[in-house]
Structure 1
Amino acid sequence: MQIGFYHDAAGTRHAGGIAVYTQQLAAALSRSNDVYLYTQRGELSSVLSESDVTIVETPSFDDHWLHSIDALSPLTDQDHSKLLMTYWAARNDVIDHIDDHLDVLITAQFLDDLLLSNLTDVPTIYTFHQFSDGGLGIKLRDALSQTELILANSDDTARKVSETFDYDIGEVIYPGIDLDEFRPGVAPAIDSDDPIVLFVGRLIEAKGIGDLLEAVSRLDGRQELHVVGGGDERWVKRRARSLGIADAVTVHGEVPHTELPSYHAGADVFCLPSHDESFGMANIEAMACELPVVTTDLEGIETYLVNGENGLLARVGDPQDLADKLTMLLDSPQLRERLGTRARQDVQRFDWEEQARSLERFCYETLDIDDPADRPEPEPLSGV
């Protein structure tokens, strides 16, 4: 089968959840299929460079003048980049390449789906990665997209999408985990004589970083909080100072995804106190490293985490409950070991290979795909 993925940043060393999801699925599928990734030029992710995925690059549009009108436009900076990428693709034979080479094209963001489903002749699949509201983008996609095959990244997302738009969700393809990469026993990147709490995620309110800082300020004893992720690092440092815990908080910024296991290896507890999460890939990555997890009691997270069995759940937006759960783990090495061991066992089902097999089965069952042996070899794309 010949499968394409289309995402502006998925070819690069980008740590965002949808980009990582796209990279990993493409790499896993490439072991038994011809897989193409259409993406903007950048430093290639090692996940892709070590795979059999064929990369079809467009220029990078990071410095284009269109970004200067962000304040006057309802579209985001990334939306402008996507518009420019697809405009360039249509004028430089990339759309023809998609039509000539693929059995199916998979997108994961509304603007890509809206544009590509109307520009290409091959069947398109759209994957919902979250559904927190019925915003303008989703409404436009619903009205104008030609895509009939819909996937979701979690049972919670599938339920919300189905209830809002009455879509038939074809399959749930969960975010996966590379169990060989995310594992215990790797060399740690961080170290301390005091217990370490680790946060990995975007530094935004929805990820609960403010709640975590507040919770850490209420803990007794000595511990450190290490923060990994892109966003407003200065706000995190200012908030830590205002809470009197600046000396206990280290902000590392965004790091390559492949380096995350070394941060997990140096930590004692992982904490992601999200306010809104369709799944929470960062949690299962920590669990695969046998790191005990404290997170929030959201439906998407409860897909894999059972309170007291393989992690601890705190109430959303409740710093004191979060502090109480962290204290339980920091005070009990035995509880940390028990939860971490069970966590590693329970995330085995989210291996990327298993998610790729589910997607492959879905494509074969729903699409009329010719036997590859009967298909002529397509001509290579020139100039891309």
Structure 2
Amino acid sequence: MQSCLLPYQAISPTVKRTISPMSPKPRLVVVPSDPISAYEKAGYDWLQRYYNPSGYFGEVIALSPREKKNRQAHGMSIRRVSERYFRSALREIAPDVVRAYGGYWPADLVARNRLPNVPVVVSVHDRLAHRIHRSVTLADAVLCMSQAVSQAVRLKGVGPEKAVILPNRVDLNRFQPLRHTPECHRIRKIHPGKLILHVGRKHEEKNLDTLICSLSHLPKEYRCVFIGNGDVQSYQALARSEGVADRCYWLDHIQNRDLPYWYSACDCFCVPSRWEGFGIVFIEAAACGAPIVTSRIPPMTEYLRHGESAFLVEEYEDPRCLAESIHRTVDDAAFAARIRTGAQAAALPFELSEVDAMEVQIYQQVMHRHLGSPPSTWMQQRWNAEQFAYHAIRSGAKHVLGLFKSEQKNAA
């Protein structure tokens, strides 16, 4: 794994930020990509340690125009603030560092409103070009979930001295093999036969359609449980058309603490993603010793090895090929045992406390290095023009779509 340390740079004493060992703990402002309530609804119960690794910060404030109300939760203050007053709120809070989670609107917001001598850190979780905006180039550090993401942000103009690999993390005390527990036995009783598990949003990225179609090429005792938020109707319709609806089971979400039982209970964990930024579910499944079948694409190829810790499928859009990969993984006991063991080893570098320590070290370095400046007037004007054009196009598209639907309704 690439070092998480930022390259040393000689800096002027006039801009060096020093924190005495006797000083109060630093203050952090975070801008999550979604409201905190969305993560609560998804069953995430580790938000406090996620936003405050190792308890390093004395105060964490989640500041976002997407929050509905002000409240205290998960060891932090959650505050709603409009984009117009975001900079004023930052001045009031006087943070030691600001963190944007996402290289798109959160990065735009913090870069556009950054304060002098307050460092900005942006984490990028996705390697899709349209989700990495130019604003990431103005961050003091860009935390990339994987090498694949790092390559994507460099294509946007982020220098190699700013792009830092910080992977996602897994609590190995929670995510571990639990196959012989009563909870796993209950899952297997409800879902007898060969159990395939898919965990992820119901979205094109996660390639549920190919997995659903692959069931028609597998024996009838093969069943699949799909866990994740999203619109399920189109996938249920596909399952009916393929004649496998009675072998597909749909769960919106489960509590994070229950996931290890599902990973441990399944005969095969299969998410044949079309693209990924990191894929934390693969590391969670690996830590639980689940036999993994997934796509041979970055970043999975960065930490999983075909035949050693997973079955990596080349033709992951081909239902028949995917079915053959699942069948081999489930029915070949020796192969399954080998990749179970290899998967657990693959998860070790992502242990929670180790990645937390990396993240704290990055924060410490950023707060002691040369700090960036607010964007220039020219850059501000350019962003404003781009934002205006974006919203104009989006509003126009919505208006046209509304007219089209209205005409269709009238015609019917």
Residue 360 of structure 2 corresponds to 360
Once the two structures are superposed, residues 124-167 of structure 1 have per-residue CA deviations (whole angstroms, 9 ceiling, x without a partner) of 1111111222x3x644525xx74232221111110122134253
TM-score in terms of structure 1 length: 0.77
Residue 75 of structure 1 corresponds to none
Moved more, 173-182 or 35-44: 35-44
Q: 1:178 aligns with which of 152, 171, 178?
A: 171
| Map 1:1-384 → 2, pairs under 5 A | 1-2=25-26, 3-7=28-32, 9=34, 11-12=36-37, 14=39, 24-30=49-55, 32-38=56-62, 40=67, 49=74, 53=75, 55-59=76-80, 85-87=82-84, 89=86, 94-99=89-94, 102-109=95-102, 110-121=104-115, 122-133=118-129, 135=130, 138-139=132-133, 141=135, 146-168=138-160, 169-185=162-178, 187-188=183-184, 190-191=187-188, 192-315=191-314, 316-368=316-368
Change over 3 Å in CA distance of 1:293–1:13 after alignment to 2: same
Unmatched tracts of structure 1, length 5 or more:
60-83, 370-384
Secondary structure in 1 matching 2:174: coil
Secondary structure in 1 matching 2:201: coil
Letter in 2 for 1:95: L
Deviation for aligned residue 1:342: 2.0
Looking at both structures, which has the greater relative contact order when contacts are Cα pairs under 8 Å and sequence separation is at least 6? 2
Runs of 4+ residues over 6 Å off in structure 1: 19-22, 42-45
Once the two structures are superposed, residues 332-372 of structure 1 have per-residue CA deviations (whole angstroms, 9 ceiling, x without a partner) of 23322221122112211101221121122223234328xxx
TM-score in terms of structure 2 length: 0.72
Letter in 1 for 2:29: G
Deviation for aligned residue 1:278: 1.9
**Percent of matched pairs sharing the same residue:** 21
Letter in 2 for 1:326: I
Secondary structure in 2 matching 1:4: strand
Letter in 2 for 1:263: W
Q: Distance in 2 between matches of 1:170 and 1:114?
A: 17
CA contact (8 A) 1:58 1:89 kept: no
Q: Distance in 1 between matches of 2:258 and 2:347?
A: 20
Unmatched tracts of structure 2, length 5 or more:
1-24, 370-412
Deviation for aligned residue 1:94: 3.5
Change over 3 Å in CA distance of 1:275–1:182 after alignment to 2: same
Q: Distance in 2 between matches of 1:119 and 1:35?
A: 21
Once the two structures are superposed, residues 297-351 of structure 1 have per-residue CA deviations (whole angstroms, 9 ceiling, x without a partner) of 1121111100000111012322222111100012123322221122112211101
Deviation for aligned residue 1:207: 0.7
Letter in 2 for 1:261: P
Larger radius of gyration between Structure 1 and Structure 2: 2
RMSD of Structure 2 on Structure 1 (CA): 2.9
Letter in 2 for 1:296: S
